[in-house]
Amino acid sequence: MDYPVIFIPGLFGSLGDDIIKGTGKLSFGFAKYVYMPFIRILNSMGYVEGKNLFISFYNWRLPVIEAVQKYLVPVVEKAKRETGMDKVILIGHSLGGLLGRTYISYIDGDSVDKLIMISPVNSGSVNAYCFWSGGKLPYPKVENNIIYNALKLLFILYYYLFEKVHYIEGLRNLFPICQDLLPSFDYGDYLFIEKDNKRISIPQDEMTVKNTFLNELNKISISHQNIYIIYGTGFETNKEFVVDFKREGIKWRDGKPIKAITTFEGDGTVTTKSALGNFRSSKIEIRANHSDILYESKAYLSNILQKPLKEVEPTKVEKAFIILAENCKGIRIETDSVNEILLSGVTISDDRVEGVMLPENRFLAMVAGDSKLDIKLDISPLEKPQVFMALVDKEGYNFKSNILQWEAIFDNI
């Protein structure tokens, strides 16, 4: 049967009023650089959005089960209703894979013909510990995902700079999803202390921070036969942390990371162990990072979906600029081509630039391209303008700002 496909993007993969007021209807937003090339791959197989291809955008800040109920369930019903089919195929990237798995486990497994999880976080991620326990982002050099890093930085800084959410309680209330992404019990112990040249583990069941959601989900045995896990390997990925116990109020109750233990059995974001979980399913290993695996998986997807594939060349992204501005009448972004992109009250989008003007004279923009990409920025200020710009490339972040001691946001692990 030619069942419709529903694609579920990952963390930071949707943008709309539910996530940032003033950004309109849910879409990929700034994540278009990651996901539109993948959608074009599905298009080349004959999947057409609104006909036999549907995208489940969602507020990725919510706990997984809430996101499934509010966003994925209605899309599944719509896809079945509009195609006349009684089943759908779910394809989820990263966090999106967890949403698909949760739908099968808790909602309606009979409505799913196939679940294809690409780089799923089935056993959690140690990076979530940094944010949930301490309100910090882990230093990004070990993540080989330029656009993913840029998206992470843009969203976190928006709330930090413009919404003034600086405190751990506020961050946890704003991003409850991070608790759902903590390592689960089946991940194993992931915090250690060093003493007398030995590493001593901190047992998960003795920690104050736990992933209740995944610990319960992983108890559910799924009998569904058509589950596929496509996972990446060969990229340095955070696996564990060495910690000390310099507690800061309610922060770092289980230890503050001082060093990352890494592995090359991962995609730069998710370890192989976490992606595979305890599933007895079809497993496909690809040497690719957390975002490129979407494009490198195309031949396998063609085989799983039984659809012939036409060659699609993804846009090469080797660097990205993000711009956040406040108290400005407008900004002009001039790229290294002859084009000038104006942001002065309208949302704009072209192949390399995505930008939006928000209420209160705020602007968000991202420019992405190859290694030759360069930009010039011209600001039309109001009183006390605030401007933040960062270059994100394979070396990490390079900041330019008039408003922030940006080191306060990061732990240099």
| DSSP letters spanning 152-179 | HHHHHHIIIIIS---SHHHHHHH-THHH
Classify residue 14: in a domain, yes or no: yes
Tokens (6 digits) for 242: 């060495």
Classify residue 294: in a domain, yes or no: yes
Classify residue 173: in a domain, yes or no: no
* pLDDT digits (tens), the chain, 413 positions: 799 999 999 999 999 999 999 898 999 999 998 899 999 999 999 999 999 999 999 999 999 999 999 999 999 999 999 999 999 999 999 999 999 999 999 999 899 999 999 999 999 999 999 889 888 766 544 456 788 888 888 888 888 888 888 778 888 888 999 999 999 999 999 999 998 888 899 999 999 999 999 999 999 888 767 899 999 999 999 999 999 977 666 788 899 998 999 999 999 999 999 999 988 778 999 999 998 999 999 999 999 999 998 876 766 788 899 999 888 888 888 776 645 565 665 555 566 788 888 888 888 999 888 888 888 888 888 888 888 888 888 777 777 765 555 555 554 33
Decide if 12 contacts 148 (C-beta within 8 A): yes
Q: Is 143 helix (H, G, I), strand (E, B) or coil?
A: coil
Q: How far apart are CA 207 and CA 211, in angstroms?
A: 11
Q: How many other CB atoms are found less than 10 A from the CB of residue 361? A: 17
Q: 């004959």: which residue's tokens?
A: 46
Q: 């394979």: which residue's tokens?
A: 394
CA 81 to chain centre: 29
Tokens (6 digits) for 383: 């009183």
Classify residue 13: in a domain, yes or no: yes
Pairing of strands 353-358, 362-369: antiparallel
Classify residue 144: in a domain, yes or no: no
Pairing of strands 227-232, 282-286: parallel
Burial of 255 (0-12, 13-18, 19+ CB in 10 A): buried
Give me the numbers of helices (H) and strands (E) for the chain, helices first please: 12, 19
pLDDT tens readout for residues 160-194: 888 888 778 888 888 999 999 999 999 999 999 99
Classify residue 241: in a domain, yes or no: yes
- What CATH code is carried by the domain that includes residue 230? 3.40.50.1820
Tokens (6 digits) for 390: 């960062």
Q: How far apart are CA 412 and CA 298, in angstroms?
A: 36
Classify residue 401: in a domain, yes or no: no
pLDDT of residue 413: 33
Classify residue 123: in a domain, yes or no: yes
The residues, any chain, with a CB within 8 Å of residue 80's CB and separated by 6 or more, are 4, 86, 87, 88, 111
pLDDT of residue 370: 82
Domain count, the chain: 1
pLDDT of residue 351: 66
Decide if 126 contacts 240 (C-beta within 8 A): yes
Q: Is 68 helix (H, G, I), strand (E, B) or coil?
A: helix
pLDDT of residue 310: 81
Instruction: Please provide the DSSP assignment of 220-277 as one string.
Output: SPP--S-EEEEEE-SB-EEEEEEEE---BTTBTTT-EEEEEEEESSBBSSSBHHHHHT
Q: Is 128 helix (H, G, I), strand (E, B) or coil?
A: helix
pLDDT of residue 373: 83
DSSP state of 384: E
Decide if 248 contacts 294 (C-beta within 8 A): no
Closest by Cα among 122, 154, 160, 130 to 34 = 154
Q: Is 191 helix (H, G, I), strand (E, B) or coil?
A: strand
Decide if 144 contacts 344 (C-beta within 8 A): no
DSSP state of 124: -
pLDDT of residue 166: 73
Q: How far apart are CA 136 and CA 127, in angstroms?
A: 9
Q: How far apart are CA 65 and CA 214, in angstroms?
A: 11
Range of the domain at 127: 5-134+182-305
